[in-house]
Structure 1
Amino acid sequence: MTGVMVRSDLPGKLHEGKVRELYDLGDDRLLMVATDRVSTYDVVMPTPVPRKGEVLTRLSAHWFDRTADVVPNHMISVVEAGDTLKLGGTSVNAGEAGLAGRSMVVRKAEPILVECVVRGYITGSGWSEYRQSGSVCGIVLLEGLIESQMLPDPIFTPTTKAETGHDMPMTFEEVVDFIGEEMANVIKLRSLALYRYAAGVAEERGIIIADTKFEFGVIDGEITLIDEALTPDSSRFWPMAGYEAGHGQPSFDKQYVRDWASDTGWNREPPAPELPPDIVEASSERYTEAYRLITGDPLPDAS
C-alpha cells in the first residue's frame, strides 16, 4: 500500500484541482495523480482518506479498458512501482514518490467545459429539483416519483464545470448554445451509452449505478472520455441487495462523507470540519469495497 498522499509536490506541476494534480510528460502526454483528498459540496476536506487515490485511478483504468469499444478515452497506462518518470527535467521513481497505483499517464486533450451527468435513478440534487419543479435540468419527469426510484430511461442532466465554487445545472439547450449542437449531441449520446453499458455490467456484480458524471475532451479531432470514469467520486453506487425506493440508500461512495458533513451542521463553505477517525476508516473501507465489488478483485498493493 502507498502512504497517504495529500499532495504530490513534485517538479513541474501544471495544475492542482480538488483531488487530482497534473504534470506535463512531453509528447502530448500528462501524468494525472489522484491524491487522497476528498471534496464535499465542492470544498476540500482537511482530512485525507487512505487508498482513495488508488481506488479512483485503478477503477477508472478498469472502466477505461472495459468501455474503450463504446467511447474512446485518454488513458495510456497506470503508473506502477517500477516506473521512472521525467518530471520537470528530473527523473522520479514512481514507487519512491508514492505515485504507484494512484497515477495514470494520459493523452493531452482540449477539455469540453461541461459536466456530463447521467441519472438512472432520482436521488440527490435531482430529487431535490424534482420535488420543487417536477423536472430536472429542464426535463419534465413523470408525476408521483419517489426518492431513489428508477427512471423509465436514463436522463442527461449536464452542469457547468466550475473551476471554483459550485457547478450549476444546465438545460440541453444551454449546452447547445455553449458548445454547438453537433458537439452537444455527441457528448449526450456518448454519456448515455457509457452509463447504459456500465449499469448493465455493475448490475451483474450486484451494484446499482444510480447516477454518474463524465468529462470529455478533444484529442486529434475526436471527442474522447477524459478525467475519471465511474468511480466512487463521480458516481453513486448502491448495493442491489436491500434496495427499496422511497428513501435514501446505503452506498459505496463519498455520499457517506457528505451525509456526515451535513449532520454536523456545517454550512458547506470553507473551512470544512476535520473528519473523525471512524469516518475516515469507514470511508476508506467503502472505497476499497466498491473496487472489489465492481472488479471482482481486491485493490492491488501498489508497493
Structure 2
Amino acid sequence: MCGVPLPDGLVDGSRLPEPIFTPATKAAFGEHDENVDFETMVATTGRELGEQLRDLTLAVYARAEEVARGRGLILADTKLEFGRRADGTLVLGDEVLTPDSSRYWDAATWEPGARLDAFDKQFIRDWLLQDSGWDRGSGDAPPSIPGAVVTATRERYLQAYERLTGSAFVSS
C-alpha cells in the first residue's frame, strides 16, 4: 500500500501491526486523489517537509485512535490535509477526523473479514451501487438520494460524533 509492504494473510478489516502513512496527491475538483509512495511525495515536498508531514500524520492518527478506542470505536483510517500559511507555517486544514474523512467501526461488532459497517458515507455509496438500480457505467447521472437514506446517514454521523465526544449533538 503506497509502497509499504503489508503482512500476508490480511483480510478486509484486519488490524495492521502498526499504522502506516499513505500519502496521496490532491486531484483537481471532481477527480480522485492518487495514492503515491513516500519517495514520490518527497520528490514534491522535499525530504524535511515530507518527514514532518508523515510524523504529524501518524501522531494525529495515534492520538485519535486512542480516543476512539476508549469510546468503543476503531479508527480504521483517516485522511488529513495540510497546507501552509503565507508565513510558511504548516497547518492542518479541512475537516479532521470526521466520518467524511475517516472510517470508524464499532469495536463491539468488528470482525476482520466480515461485513464492517462504518460510521461514514459508505452507507450512501452502498445504497447508490447496490439498491438504487443506478448503473455506474451508464453515463446517466446518479439518482437523487431518498430522504430515508439521508436520515440514516445523518444518524450514523451523529452516533460517531456523540460516541467520540461523549456529548449529545446540539444543532443551533
Residues 195-243 of structure 1, C-alpha deviation per residue, up to 9 Å, x if partnerless? 0010001111111110000011113322221111100100001111111
1:174 aligns with 2:40: yes
The runs of at least 4 consecutive aligned structure 1 residues that moved more than 6 Å come to: none
The residue number in structure 2 matching 1:280 is 150
For 2:50 and 2:135, locate their aligned partners in 1 and report how far apart those are by CA, in whole Å. Answer: 36
SS of corresponding position for 1:152: coil
SS of corresponding position for 2:169: coil
The residue number in structure 1 matching 2:170 is 300
Are the aligned partners of 1:218 and 1:224 in contact in 2 as well (CA < 8 Å)?
yes
Please tell me the residue identity of whatever aligns with 1:297: S
Residues 133-191 of structure 1, C-alpha deviation per residue, up to 9 Å, x if partnerless? xxx11111111111100000001111111122111111111101111111111111100
The TM-score normalised by the length of structure 2 is 0.91
The residue number in structure 1 matching 2:97 is 230
The residue number in structure 2 matching 1:195 is 61
For 1:277 and 1:266, locate their aligned partners in 2 and report how far apart those are by CA, in whole Å. Answer: 21
Please tell me the residue identity of whatever aligns with 1:239: D
Are the aligned partners of 1:176 and 1:184 in contact in 2 as well (CA < 8 Å)?
yes
The residue number in structure 1 matching 2:136 is 267
The residue number in structure 2 matching 1:248 is 115
For 1:270 and 1:209, locate their aligned partners in 2 and report how far apart those are by CA, in whole Å. Answer: 35
The residue number in structure 2 matching 1:45 is none
The residue number in structure 2 matching 1:57 is none
Change (3 A) 1:150 1:300: same
Please tell me the residue identity of whatever aligns with 1:156: F
How many residue pairs get matched? 167
Residues 112-152 of structure 1, C-alpha deviation per residue, up to 9 Å, x if partnerless? xxxxxxxxxxxxxxxxxxxxxxxx11111111111100000
Please tell me the residue identity of whatever aligns with 1:224: V
Structure 2 residue runs of 5 or longer lacking an equivalent are: none
* TM-aligned CA deviation for residue 301 of structure 1: 2.4
Larger Rg: 1
For 1:290 and 1:163, locate their aligned partners in 2 and report how far apart those are by CA, in whole Å. Answer: 29
The answer to which structure, 1 or 2, has the higher relative contact order (CA under 8 A, 6+ apart) is 1
More helix by share: 2
RMSD between aligned residues: 1.5
More strand by share: 1
* TM-aligned CA deviation for residue 300 of structure 1: 1.5
Aligned pairs (5 A) from 1:81-230:
136-164=1-29, 165-219=31-85, 220-230=87-97
For 1:207 and 1:197, locate their aligned partners in 2 and report how far apart those are by CA, in whole Å. Answer: 13
For 1:272 and 1:209, locate their aligned partners in 2 and report how far apart those are by CA, in whole Å. Answer: 30
Are the aligned partners of 1:236 and 1:255 in contact in 2 as well (CA < 8 Å)?
no
For 1:183 and 1:256, locate their aligned partners in 2 and report how far apart those are by CA, in whole Å. Answer: 36
SS of corresponding position for 1:156: coil
For 2:65 and 2:25, locate their aligned partners in 1 and report how far apart those are by CA, in whole Å. Answer: 24
For 2:95 and 2:19, locate their aligned partners in 1 and report how far apart those are by CA, in whole Å. Answer: 20
Structure 1 residue runs of 5 or longer lacking an equivalent are: 1-135
Are the aligned partners of 1:266 and 1:273 in contact in 2 as well (CA < 8 Å)?
no
SS of corresponding position for 2:56: helix
SS of corresponding position for 2:17: strand
